[in-house]
Structure 1
Amino acid sequence: MKIVSFVFLFVSLQLLQAQEGTGTPLNLGVKDALIYGNPFEVGLDSTYINTNVKKIITNGIKNNAFPGAQVLVAKNRKIIFHKAYGYHTYDSIQPVALDDIYDLASVTKITAALPALMKLVDEGKLDVDAPFSNYWKRWKNEKDKENITLREILAHQAGLEPYIVFLNEVFKKNKKLKRRFIHSSPNRRFQNQAYDGLFVKNKFNKKMYRLIDRSEVSAEKKYKYSGLAFLIFPQLIEQLTGESYDYYLEKNFYLPLNTPTMGFKPKTKGFPNPIVPTEIDTLFRHTLTQGWVHDENAALLGGISGNAGLFATATDLAKLMQMYMQYGVYDGKRYLSEATVKEFTRVQFPENDNRRGLGFDKPSLNNSELSLSKAYPAPEVGTSSFGHSGFTGTFVWADPENQMVYIFLSNRVNPTRDNRNLYNLNIRPAVQQIFYKATLPSK
């Protein structure tokens, strides 16, 4: 069955190449699929949009927020804006192109782990209000974790630690890699590739699970963002479906949605599209990271994880977000039930000052009352809107009330993750706001 999926992938890529500059082809004949249009068709001022978006992005490049970026916006099922700016790196050699593939970082959480979990909820194989230990049995032996529910985990309300630096486990005190965990070439026990010349022990995930088991849980149940459970979800999904995590996603979502670039380990797939590089890694990979996941925890899982590791083009991302915005339907096919999508995209614990949905990020609770500098994201977004951001400089957002999908892709971690001007200049919400303020006056 794997062979069949990759044949489909190859055919899809031929279509991708045939439609140069636009990413994956769009279905022009189905009323709930994306088509191309222009701002005027949906009542927006094209001149205002182009002028102001270019101004914000150019200022970001000038101030080293990122070497390049691209923005895609779909409104009323029409992609009315998709433009690329700048270069892959600050040497200005490779211009950003509309069909470039990006490392999505934590956007993976809602584009890989989450659709699988939602489908399992639909099928009755998961209950968000049951103890997670009913499914992840090893937590039955952890008193501080045995009663935590999946709802609490996905809403970041469980008190789990935010992050564990598992990379510390593979280094000796002299900063050299431990041979028992990392090899420079593959063999039967070392098949999980983290990068060129870096292969991780197959069973390293078991060590990660043990450290997660032993991690502290806060007694106070309040909002505390944690990605730890997303490292567990791929194994859980495999247990519940009997299929590998990446194949399950391919079969049920990415292939039927016709999003061929969406997936893990793009370096191994021979895409014609350029893959945008991320950080110059001075610790683990000792080179410019490109084609392999930036996040070290995902890398130690062989690049396939629930917290990070997914790559995609902007147009492929737009299709998945449009499917969510249409509450589970796209191009005439239902992927998820409307009830499940609505449940996952609503605020779960507002009484605890927690804005989050289940896996999805949501606007600040009083967002419309805030200025752009304090709002998250743009203050004009609808209360039913949802999305997620990524550490590498990515951002996706869907707004059902305003029928708008917003995709922002950049590699702000190039050349180093210490660069935070993307946040300091508030670029992603500022660009998003342009499309809400561009309404043409009614005649």
Structure 2
Amino acid sequence: MQPDFQPADRDARYASALSVLQEAIAAHAFPGCAFGVLANDKILLHSALGRQTYDANSPAITPDTLYDIASVTKVAITTTAAMLLHQRGLLDLEMPLGELLPGFVIGRQPGSLARHVHLHHLLAHSSGLPGYVRFFEHHTTSTGLIRACLELPIEAPPGTRAEYSDPGFILLGKALEVLIHEPLTQWAHREILAPLAMSASCFCPLPTQRAAIPPTELDTWFRHRIIQGEVQDENASVLHGAAGHAGLFSNVPDLLRFAQSILNASQPNALFTSETIDLFSRRQPPPGSSRALGWDTPSENSSSGSHFSPRSIGHLGYAGTSLWIDLDARIAIVLLTNRTWPDRQSQLIRTVRPAFHNAIREAL
């Protein structure tokens, strides 16, 4: 699939969606964005607006601009790795995490809840682990950070509480590395990115690439520099820029190729089987959670808007990125921004995302 650059302003159908993004840029929700739409195996929209920063002389965003996709890494890399390993019979979703990472249970009491955390709990964000921990404030090495993650208390019995957990995906990434016997980033390049021709996507962009990547933040308190072309997430930064929860840089064409591979499951030479997609897109306990295995699904007031079917999957990234795939309608929408520039204060993205998705779906 080789999408062509199709400026949104050349198709009157997308005037409303374009207006949403233009107004968002004017309101400083983000300085620029790249976006794309896939429907029935065709790229209907592949365009961009705005600039890297609010400076009038800042480089313009192009449809192929590379972004720090933040937590979209969780589905594009870590969840996908789990899907493929399960599909190949190499990953048992019921396997206790402690069997792969003994440090997770060593030193805990015999009846510790940690012994009941299985891989599917990590994927479903129901492990009982906390949502977010500022490990980087106390640990300057990857070894120290991982050890601290392994020693976290389990705050609720596994399977009884849904709490979106970065530490859970950090540990999931390390567990997968035990199964594959190599770094997850190296495996992902060979088994995911290369087969899907996601040639722009990478971890830790080269110094020569950084100027073309929109900066995510003016960091005045941790790294004390502009964060551009390096992962924004501080914990991922300590983990050498790549982890199970964050670190991938990607662009609209690559993420649409990824979405197409999911929509075309079970076709000849497909990466996934339809059984794998069905399993990983199914909502998980506890009742009321919108989480599937690794993926999110539409819920009330969803960032996907009001037109995605219940059989849809997606994920957001903290820096202002998102991917939503409607498995029934065979539609995927990618929106990439750096909404955290120059700082993390603006929350306007929360209203922009559903409005943009609604405008696109209504145009289709």
TM over 0.5: yes
**What's the counterpart of residue 55 of structure 1?**
19
1:296 matches 2:231 = no
Evaluate the alpha carbon distance shift between residue 227 and residue 102 of structure 1 in structure 2; reply closer, same or farther with a 3 A threshold. same
**What's the counterpart of residue 132 of structure 1?**
97
**What's the counterpart of residue 361 of structure 1?**
296
1:75 matches 2:39 = yes
Structure 2 SS opposite 1:311: strand
Aligned equivalents of 1:148 and 1:328: distance in 2?
31
Alignment gaps of 5+ in structure 1: 1-25, 28-34, 40-44, 171-180, 182-203, 368-373
Task: List per-residue Cα deviations over 1:158-204 (Å, max 9, x = no partner).
Answer: 2110111012115xxxxxxxxxx4xxxxxxxxxxxxxxxxxxxxxx2
1:167 matches 2:136 = yes
Paired residues of 1:322 and 1:398 also in contact (CA < 8 A): no
Evaluate the alpha carbon distance shift between residue 271 and residue 168 of structure 1 in structure 2; reply closer, same or farther with a 3 A threshold. closer
**What's the counterpart of residue 218 of structure 2?**
280
Structure 2 SS opposite 1:90: coil
Paired residues of 2:122 and 2:169 also in contact (CA < 8 A): no
- CA displacement at 1:120 relative to structure 2: 1.5
- CA displacement at 1:231 relative to structure 2: 1.4
**What's the counterpart of residue 66 of structure 2?**
101
Amino acid at match of 2:84: K
**What's the counterpart of residue 398 of structure 1?**
325
Paired residues of 2:34 and 2:64 also in contact (CA < 8 A): no
Aligned equivalents of 1:227 and 1:436: distance in 2?
31
- CA displacement at 1:273 relative to structure 2: 8.4
Task: List per-residue Cα deviations over 1:240-269 (Å, max 9, x = no partner).
Answer: 12222111111111112111111200135x
Amino acid at match of 1:393: G
- CA displacement at 1:328 relative to structure 2: 6.1
Aligned equivalents of 1:376 and 1:56: distance in 2?
14
Evaluate the alpha carbon distance shift between residue 262 and residue 37 of structure 1 in structure 2; reply closer, same or farther with a 3 A threshold. closer
Paired residues of 1:100 and 1:273 also in contact (CA < 8 A): no
- CA displacement at 1:55 relative to structure 2: 1.2
Larger mean Cα displacement after TM superposition, 240-249 or 288-297: 240-249
- CA displacement at 1:213 relative to structure 2: 2.7
Paired residues of 1:37 and 1:80 also in contact (CA < 8 A): no
Aligned equivalents of 1:272 and 1:153: distance in 2?
32
Aligned equivalents of 2:273 and 2:13: distance in 1?
38
The alignment yields a C-alpha RMSD, in angstroms, of 2.1
Aligned equivalents of 1:55 and 1:376: distance in 2?
18
Aligned equivalents of 1:413 and 1:306: distance in 2?
21
Evaluate the alpha carbon distance shift between residue 127 and residue 418 of structure 1 in structure 2; reply closer, same or farther with a 3 A threshold. same
Paired residues of 1:101 and 1:273 also in contact (CA < 8 A): no
**What's the counterpart of residue 278 of structure 2?**
342
Amino acid at match of 2:54: Y
Q: Please identify the structure whose Cα radius of gyration is greater.
A: 1
**What's the counterpart of residue 327 of structure 1?**
265
Structure 1 SS opposite 2:43: strand
Aligned equivalents of 1:86 and 1:36: distance in 2?
19
1:247 matches 2:183 = no
Aligned equivalents of 1:117 and 1:328: distance in 2?
17
Aligned equivalents of 1:250 and 1:113: distance in 2?
12
Task: List per-residue Cα deviations over 1:71-104 (Å, max 9, x = no partner).
Answer: 2001111111112111100102211111110000
- CA displacement at 1:128 relative to structure 2: 1.0
**What's the counterpart of residue 219 of structure 1?**
156
Amino acid at match of 1:167: F
**What's the counterpart of residue 79 of structure 2?**
114
Evaluate the alpha carbon distance shift between residue 385 and residue 280 of structure 1 in structure 2; reply closer, same or farther with a 3 A threshold. same
- Count of residues in correspondence between the two structures: 355
Task: Choose from 151, 154, 159 the match for 2:120.
Answer: 151
- CA displacement at 1:295 relative to structure 2: 0.3
Paired residues of 1:267 and 1:292 also in contact (CA < 8 A): no
Paired residues of 2:5 and 2:47 also in contact (CA < 8 A): no
1:429 matches 2:354 = yes
Identity %: 29
Aligned equivalents of 1:155 and 1:391: distance in 2?
19
**What's the counterpart of residue 261 of structure 1?**
200
Paired residues of 1:328 and 1:341 also in contact (CA < 8 A): no
Aligned equivalents of 1:166 and 1:408: distance in 2?
29
Amino acid at match of 2:319: T
Evaluate the alpha carbon distance shift between residue 307 and residue 291 of structure 1 in structure 2; reply closer, same or farther with a 3 A threshold. same
Evaluate the alpha carbon distance shift between residue 272 and residue 133 of structure 1 in structure 2; reply closer, same or farther with a 3 A threshold. closer
Structure 2 SS opposite 1:389: strand
Aligned equivalents of 2:339 and 2:150: distance in 1?
33
Amino acid at match of 2:250: A
Amino acid at match of 2:262: Y
Paired residues of 1:99 and 1:273 also in contact (CA < 8 A): no
Aligned equivalents of 1:333 and 1:56: distance in 2?
38
Amino acid at match of 1:283: W
**What's the counterpart of residue 195 of structure 1?**
none
Amino acid at match of 2:338: N
Amino acid at match of 2:248: L
Evaluate the alpha carbon distance shift between residue 318 and residue 266 of structure 1 in structure 2; reply closer, same or farther with a 3 A threshold. same
> Structure 1: which 4+ aligned runs deviate by more than 3 Å?
35-39, 270-273
Aligned equivalents of 1:212 and 1:280: distance in 2?
27
**What's the counterpart of residue 13 of structure 1?**
none
**What's the counterpart of residue 17 of structure 1?**
none
Aligned equivalents of 1:37 and 1:213: distance in 2?
45
Aligned equivalents of 1:161 and 1:234: distance in 2?
17
